[in-house]
């Protein structure tokens, strides 16, 4: 008997222009566009296997070996349902004139058999097992890689000839930022304007090969679970922050254009300036929320001071900025830099934040997958 099973993996992405705020919480439509860099496949990624079988009595999910409930109407259930719908649509599109095909002496049996099986496949329940190759407790967002891998594995299982942008529409409904992990390299999530969300998708700005020297260092400051989830934090910010409204209307559109141009021109100085400013504004918006949300801690802020000083010296020498910090909904730092500076920055960080003081749980080198002095 045929086994219907497929495996896919997807990496984590880290935003330079932050997504923060939903205009539709069910479809996960954002209040602004965002842009990120997808990290290297070798380091932080989720690998997911999906299997369809007529003997399965329900859809089930295991994360790192532990079964998780698939809540009815929840995000995982939505992604699975959407993928089944695409499969059904794909099979139906292939047999628009079924009676004619049936009467055709040569092709009928073949087409009928595959269509029959195909339709069944989308009605079978699925079992899904997903693993992260990084500690889930490390305080690093795994939902982006997780939902991107889930949707990709189902696309493979159902043999869907669809683009990453089409899949991003579905991954988005699992976790907003997941839509950007469908592409490698530099990726924009265009917010879109349509109420059904059909134009709120990820597009490639440039592949990783366009700027292979770009690296990311992840400094795990704390592996505590974050205090305010992105879902409830965003909702509170949308409801209470006047600064968010200013950001949406007057700041992000220009930044999206400017950082895309900087990436195309491989202008690291500009890329760094915009990335750091946008991280700062995201955390300012969190502070402008009522009651306020604090994601960074004293160590996060000390790393900012160190990078600011490092860049000041570099700019004074006429070399421009050499590093860009950015922080998501937690205290861990991601530092973008070019390959030639990775060693120097890792040494600098470890000098000021020696591990014995417990400032860092770990320092990973990412993008291109090299370079970390342990
Ligand atoms: O996709 P979510 O709900 O995990 O939200 C991610 C929000 C940030 O990481 C803070 C910003 C971003 O664009 O990834």
Chain centre to alpha carbon of residue 275? 17
Distance from the alpha carbon of residue 174 to the mean position of ligand 1, in angstroms? 12
Cα(291)–Cα(313) distance, integer angstroms: 38
What's the pLDDT score for residue 20?
A: 98
Q: In the predicted model, what is the mean pLDDT of residues 199-208?
A: 97
Please choose from 328, 332, 333 the residue to mutate so as to test ligand 1's pocket, defined by most ligand atoms within 8 A of CB: 328
User: Of the given ranges (140-144, 212-216, 315-319), which has the lowest mean pLDDT?
Assistant: 140-144
- Residue ranges of the alpha helices (H) in the chain? 75-94, 98-103, 108-123, 143-157, 164-171, 230-240, 242-246, 252-264, 268-287, 298-316, 342-352
18 lines ligand 1 (CB under 6 A): yes
The DSSP letter of residue 28 is T
Using 50, 70 and 90 to split pLDDT, how confident is the model at 102?
very low
Counting DSSP H helices and E strands in the chain, the numbers are 11, 15
Distance from the alpha carbon of residue 329 to the mean position of ligand 1, in angstroms? 7
CB of 202 closer than 8 Å to CB of 179: yes
174 lines ligand 1 (CB under 6 A): no
Cα(172)–Cα(88) distance, integer angstroms: 20
| pLDDT greater than 90 at residue 356 | no
At 340, list the tokens.
């030639």
CB of 177 closer than 8 Å to CB of 141: yes
| pLDDT greater than 70 at residue 116 | no
Distance from the alpha carbon of residue 141 to the mean position of ligand 1, in angstroms? 8
Q: Is the dihedral of CA 112, 113, 118, 120 positive or negative?
A: positive
Q: Beta 22-24 vs 29-30: how paired, if at all?
A: antiparallel
DSSP reduced 3-state for 182: helix
Cα(271)–Cα(260) distance, integer angstroms: 9
Question: Over the stretch 129-144, which tens digit does the pLDDT of each residue have?
Answer: 999 987 665 557 678 9
What's the pLDDT score for residue 296?
A: 94
User: Of the given ranges (204-218, 249-263, 301-315), which has the lowest mean pLDDT?
Assistant: 204-218
Nearest to 328 by CA among 214, 216, 168: 216
Question: Over the stretch 17-49, which tens digit does the pLDDT of each residue have?
Answer: 999 999 999 999 999 999 999 988 777 889 999
Domain extents for the chain?
A: 1-208, 211-374
Query: What is the DSSP track for 192-236?
Result: ---TT-TT-EEEEEE-GGGSTTEEEEEEE---SPPSS-HHHHHHH
Same fold, 1-208 and 211-374: no
Residue whose tokens read 């960080």: 349
Nearest to 168 by CA among 142, 137, 195, 191: 191
What's the pLDDT score for residue 369?
A: 31
What's the pLDDT score for residue 122?
A: 79
Percent of the chain topping pLDDT 90: 71
| pLDDT greater than 90 at residue 361 | no
Query: Which residues does residue 322 pair with via DSSP β-bridges, in sequence order?
Result: none
143 lines ligand 1 (CB under 6 A): yes
Query: Which residues does residue 337 pair with via DSSP β-bridges, in sequence order?
Result: 215, 323
What's the pLDDT score for residue 112?
A: 31
1-208 folds as Ribosomal Protein S5; domain 2 (3.30.230)
CB of 281 closer than 8 Å to CB of 327: no
Q: In the predicted model, what is the mean pLDDT of residues 112-124?
A: 58
Q: Beta 125-132 vs 4-11: how paired, if at all?
A: unpaired
What mean pLDDT, rounded, does the chain reach?
Answer: 87
15 lines ligand 1 (CB under 6 A): yes
The DSSP letter of residue 7 is E
Q: Beta 60-63 vs 125-132: how paired, if at all?
A: parallel
Cα(17)–Cα(20) distance, integer angstroms: 10
Q: What's domain 211-374's superfamily in CATH?
A: GHMP kinase, C-terminal domain (3.30.70.890)
**pLDDT: which is higher, 52 or 366:** 52
Question: Over the stretch 58-97, which tens digit does the pLDDT of each residue have?
Answer: 999 999 999 999 999 999 999 999 999 999 988 888 765 5
| pLDDT greater than 70 at residue 110 | no
Q: Exposed (0-12), middle (13-18) or buried (19+): which is 131, by Cβ within 10 Å?
A: middle
**pLDDT: which is higher, 218 or 241:** 241
**Contacts of 358 by beta carbon, 8 Å cutoff, 6+ apart:** none
Using 50, 70 and 90 to split pLDDT, how confident is the model at 365?
very low
34 lines ligand 1 (CB under 6 A): yes
Using 50, 70 and 90 to split pLDDT, how confident is the model at 1?
low
Question: Over the stretch 174-188, which tens digit does the pLDDT of each residue have?
Answer: 999 999 999 999 999
| pLDDT greater than 80 at residue 374 | no
Nearest ligand 1 atom, CA 143: 4
Q: Which helix (DSSP H) or strand (DSSP E) does residue 130 occupy?
A: strand 125-132
């Amino acid at each position: 008997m045929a086994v219907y099973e497929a495996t896919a993996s997807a990496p984590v992405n880290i935003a330079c222009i932050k997504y923060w705020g939903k205009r539709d919480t069910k479809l996960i439509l954002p209040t602004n566009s965002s842009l990120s860099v997808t990290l290297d496949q070798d380091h932080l990624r989720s690998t997911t296997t999906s299997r369809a079988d007529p003997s399965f009595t329900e859809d089930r999910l295991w994360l790192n070996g532990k079964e998780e409930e698939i809540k009815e109407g929840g995000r995982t259930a939505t992604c699975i349902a959407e993928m089944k719908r695409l499969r059904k649509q794909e099979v139906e599109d292939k047999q628009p004139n079924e009676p004619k095909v049936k009467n055709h002496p040569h092709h009928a049996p073949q087409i009928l058999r595959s269509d029959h099986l195909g339709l069944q496949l989308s009605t079978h329940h699925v079992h899904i097992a997903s693993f992260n190759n990084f500690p889930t407790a490390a305080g690093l967002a795994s939902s982006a890689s997780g939902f991107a891998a889930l949707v990709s594995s189902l696309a493979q299982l159902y043999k869907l000839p669809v683009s990453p942008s089409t899949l991003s529409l579905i991954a988005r409904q699992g976790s907003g930022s997941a839509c950007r992990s469908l592409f490698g390299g530099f990726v924009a999530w265009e917010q879109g304007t349509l109420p059904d969300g059909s134009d709120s998708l990820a597009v490639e700005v440039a592949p990783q090969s366009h700027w292979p020297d770009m690296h990311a260092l992840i400094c795990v400051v704390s592996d505590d679970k974050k205090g305010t989830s992105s879902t409830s934090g965003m909702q509170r910010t949308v409801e209470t922050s006047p600064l968010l409204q200013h950001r949406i209307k007057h700041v992000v559109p220009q930044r999206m254009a400017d950082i895309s141009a900087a990436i195309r021109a491989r202008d690291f100085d500009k890329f760094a300036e915009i990335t750091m400013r946008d991280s700062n504004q995201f955390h300012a918006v969190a502070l402008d929320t009522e009651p306020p949300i604090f994601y960074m801690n004293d160590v996060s802020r000390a790393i900012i001071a160190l990078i600011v000083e490092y860049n000041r010296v570099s700019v004074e020498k006429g070399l421009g900025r050499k590093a860009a910090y950015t922080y998501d909904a937690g205290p861990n730092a991601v530092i973008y830099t070019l390959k030639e500076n990775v060693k120097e920055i890792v040494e600098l960080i470890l000098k000021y934040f020696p591990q014995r003081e417990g400032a860092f749980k770990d320092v990973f080198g990412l993008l291109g997958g090299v370079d970390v002095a342990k």
